[in-house]
Every structure is written in structure tokens, then in C-alpha cells.
Chain A
Amino acid sequence: MDHFPTNWGRPRNDAVDLYNTFPIHQRPSNVPKDAFSAGIQHTQQPIVTGTSVLAIKFKDGVMMAADNLASYGSLARFRNIQRLCPVGEHTVLGAGGDMGDFQYIQAILDELIIDEFAAGDGHTLGPKEVHNYLSELMYARRSKMNPLWNALLVGGFKDGERFLAFVDLLGTTYSASTLATGYGAHIAQPLLRSAVEGREDTLTEDEARKILEESMRVLFYRDARSLDQYQIATITAKGVDISESRKLETAWSFAEGIRGYGAQTQ
């Protein structure tokens, strides 16, 4: 049993600060020390961070969502940052974690896409290729003990096939019909699973959007590192569409009834 309440519900793996709490305060560490840690130099920690990215499959493709906030610890530092970006004609990349690393990844991918375009051979990179490239990149960097500190979702549609997969700073990959990174993996993923699993082939674009919007709202209520400004990316046979920034409708009147939060004096 862990006797430090501040550690409860936190990831067992101290390398992944899913809550983006650094550098707010220090937490006592009662995690067993890694046997390899003694002789190896530490590399880095995420500084300016993005929180959750959500993604689901639906009838015609894949839909993703991420808010526009980049935090500096507990400071909401950049409130108009893009965490969803198109990669080629069939793919969207969504990122949580270090935004500097994410922007570096975007530059690498842009060069990759230009190289493919310049080849002019009629081939284009699809989401599978982009995801595999990223998994090799992330795994190679973690193997150099110099990771790109991100959790990435790759969504896309090519040749009549939906694709949705995850890759993170360790090079860990997986695929499912609903995915969520960061805090969203705890809060939104269960909601997404109950809304989507088994209905991937019937959900309409509007229904998918509603599911994501509702999950983003729950995240905004519960995740202190989130923002009510967010974007939605839709990838279908027609290509990639990343929405303008939109604002969540939220209601906080219930807070008035909470003792110690509202206007009550005692």
C-alpha cells in the first residue's frame, strides 16, 4: 500500500507524468529505484506540455480532438496552440506532452512528405506509413536515452481503410477503435469505449463529433491542465479536415451549491 495520498491514482511509472504536474511541487517517491538508473545520465523532462488527445473511429473514417492549450507546469502558458496537424493528404497527427518536441516532429514529417512529393512517383504516405515511421523514430530516440517526450495519436484514412494508432516516448504502440492520451486515458477513454465499441461502422460523423465534444467537456471539467478551446480533425475518403478552434459550452452554476466553493459564508 502506498501511504502517500499524493501518489494515489498516479501512474506507477514515474517517467510518465500523465498529469503534467511538473514543476508544481515535489512528490515523495516510494517507487522502487530502477536498477539501471545509477550509471545513466538523465536526459530531460517535458517543459511546455499539452494534455489529452482523443480519437475515435466512425462510419466514414477517424475523428480526433485536442484542446489549444500548452501549459508551463500549472501555468496556462499558450492558449492558442495547435496540437492536431495534417501529415500529407490522408493523416492527422495529434500530440500530448512536450510541445517543443511535437513541433520538431512536425518539421521532420514535413521534410518526409516533401521528399515523397518531390519523388513524383504517384505514391503518397498513408497513416500506416506515418505511424510506423513515428514508432521507429520514437523508439530510436528512447534507445539513445534522449526521448521525444510525447504521446502521439495517428489517425487517417487511405485506400478505403480507417487507421488509428498510438505511439509514445518509449516507442510503445497500439491500435484500437477509441484512443486517448494523458488524462484522457483515464477520464475520456471509458466514455469513448462505451459510446463507440461495436458501433464503429454505424456511427455518423455528427454522432462522432458529439461523442468527442462531450468527452472534451468532461475533460475540461476535470482536467486542471485543459482548456475550453479545442479543435476537431476529421479524416475520411475526402481527405483531412481540421476545424477552426471552437469553444466548449460549460455550466458552473452547480458550484454555487458546493460548500467552500460558492457564496456561502460557512
Chain B
Amino acid sequence: MTSIGTGYDLSASTYSPDGRIFQVEYANKAVENSGTAIGLKVKDGVVIAVEKLVHSKLLVPGANRRIQTVDRHIGLATAGLPADGRTIANRARDETANYRDFYRSPPPLQAIVERVGQFVQVYTLYSSVRPFGVSTILGAVDKNGPALYVIEPSGVFFGYHGAAVGKGRQLAKTELEKLKLSELTAREAVIEAARIIYLVHEDAKEKEFELEMSWIGPETNGIHLPVPKDLFDEAESKAKEALTSGLE
């Protein structure tokens, strides 16, 4: 790597001569090593899915969740360092609490993403801190309808129809682009999300993984909830089916 040995990569408070902040780029590397997380904003809701790589058979199933709840109507998934992901989620919760305290109404996702984005960005300014090693997908159904954002380690954030972060993001994005996201229902999107996670996992097949999925839509009353077992099982078995039929 060009940065190594130049001395410009030791601190987030120093630019390299060509205008880069290597610490932020390294943070992105931490994200790239992580299991894939995707988000789908569809006609009537949002679906979030995560390929949670399980590094030990000794772990209790369901442990170390990577999808977290921020507010009744806001969910988030992180890719990167799990501990940083929890810090981001806690900050997001504090910001929703603060918004509710101030405005006495449920926050629109954009307001929260702006604040959390600013929080993340601050960690790119000082030599004394390390930028967050996570990209965060935030999904919600708020007063403006479904919303989906990604916050990157640099603090930059964009809104998306479909988002993918982590190891398999390229393939996942290609698959997401094939979908008519604005015509899908949340229920249909769950099936697609599971399929995509199983598909992108093909490249890291030797590793075990757990599928995590949550959704917000008319069937959850606009509340961020784990996908119910029957739908989850259906989506998972269809995903496996699609995989085997695709290979033949």
C-alpha cells in the first residue's frame, strides 16, 4: 500500500499530500472484512438483512446481533467492528431520545442520520481518536414513508433505494439493481433479501454464517421488528433453493 511508511497514515488529523486521510480508508478496510449487510427500501416498507459470520461453533445462536433497534420505527445494521456498531446504535438511540424530548414526536430518519453522521465525522478530525470501523445501514418508516440511509466511516451519508455494505457489497448491489424496489412489498423484499445474502455468501462458503433479518412495514404496524419465524423460514428455504438451482 502506498500509504505505508510515508507517515501520513498514523493520524486522522493529518492529510496525505494528495489529500487523503488514510485512517479513514483503513476504517473502510475494517468494513470490507465484515459479513455483508443489506437494506431494501420498497413500496411500503424497509427490510434489513445481515450475513453474520459466526467465528466459533461455541457461540450461542443469535448472539452478537448486528441488527439493532434505535426507536420504535427505526432499525440499523452495521458492518465492521461489532463494538463500534453498538456505539453507533447507542448514539442513535440517544439522538432519537433527544429529538423526542425536544419535539415531542417520532423523529424522521433523516434528522437522526444527520446527527449520527456528524458524530461519526468528528472522529475523523483528531489525532487522539480512531474513526469508526463501521458502515451503518439505517432504515425506517417515518412520516415521509420508507427511508434508507448509509453512514460511512468518513461520516458521509447518502439515502438509497437499496444499500449494501461489507464483504459482498459489489455482488449484492448488482443484485439489488436488478430488482424493481419501488414496486416490491416488504414481504416480497424479505424473500429477495434472504436470497441476496445467501448468494453473496457463496464466495466465503467455508465460513459459517447466520442470517439476520428485520423489517418495518404495514405488517409490523410501522415498527422495527425481527422478521417473524414463518416468513423467515420461508425466505431462507427459498434462498437455499435459488442457490442450488442457480448452480445447476
Residues of chain A at the chain B interface (Cβ within 8 Å): 107, 110-111, 114-115, 117-118, 120
Contact = CB atoms under 8 A, between A and B. Distances in A.
Contact of B93 (A107, A110, A118): A118
B57 interface: no
B65 interface: yes
B68 interface: yes
A186 to B, nearest CB: 35
A117 B65 CA distance: 15
Nearest to A118: B69
A17 to B, nearest CB: 28
Interface in B152-177: none
Q: For chain A, what secondary structure do more than half of its interface residues adopt (helix, strand, loop), or is it mixed?
A: helix
Contacts of A107: 100-101, 104
6 closest residue pairs by CB, A with B: A118-B69, A120-B69, A118-B93, A111-B97, A114-B71, A114-B72
Contacts of B104: 107
B69 to A, nearest CB: 4
Interface residues of B, number: 13
A255 to B, nearest CB: 43
B148 interface: no
B50 interface: no
B70 interface: yes
Given A107-B100, A107-B101, A111-B101, A117 B69 contact: yes
A109 to B, nearest CB: 12
Contact of B65 (A111, A115, A120): A120
B68 A115 contact: no
Residue from A115, A117, A120 with most neighbouring chain B CB atoms (10 Å): A120
Contacts of B72: 114, 117
Contacts of A110: 100
B220 to A, nearest CB: 12
Contacts of B65: 120
A118 B68 CA distance: 7
Nearest to A111: B97
B68 A114 contact: no
Given A120-B65, A120-B68, A120-B69, A114 B97 contact: yes
A89 to B, nearest CB: 12
23 contacts: A107-B100, A107-B101, A107-B104, A110-B100, A111-B97, A111-B100, A111-B101, A114-B71, A114-B72, A114-B97, A114-B100, A115-B93, A115-B97, A117-B69, A117-B72, A118-B68, A118-B69, A118-B70, A118-B71, A120-B65, A120-B68, A120-B69, A120-B226
Contacts of A111: 97, 100-101
A117 B96 CA distance: 13
Contacts of A117: 69, 72
Nearest to A106: B104
B86 to A, nearest CB: 12
A27 to B, nearest CB: 37
Nearest to B69: A118
A111 B95 CA distance: 12
Given A118-B93, A120-B226, 8 more contacts: A111-B100, A114-B71, A114-B97, A115-B93, A117-B72, A118-B69, A118-B70, A120-B68
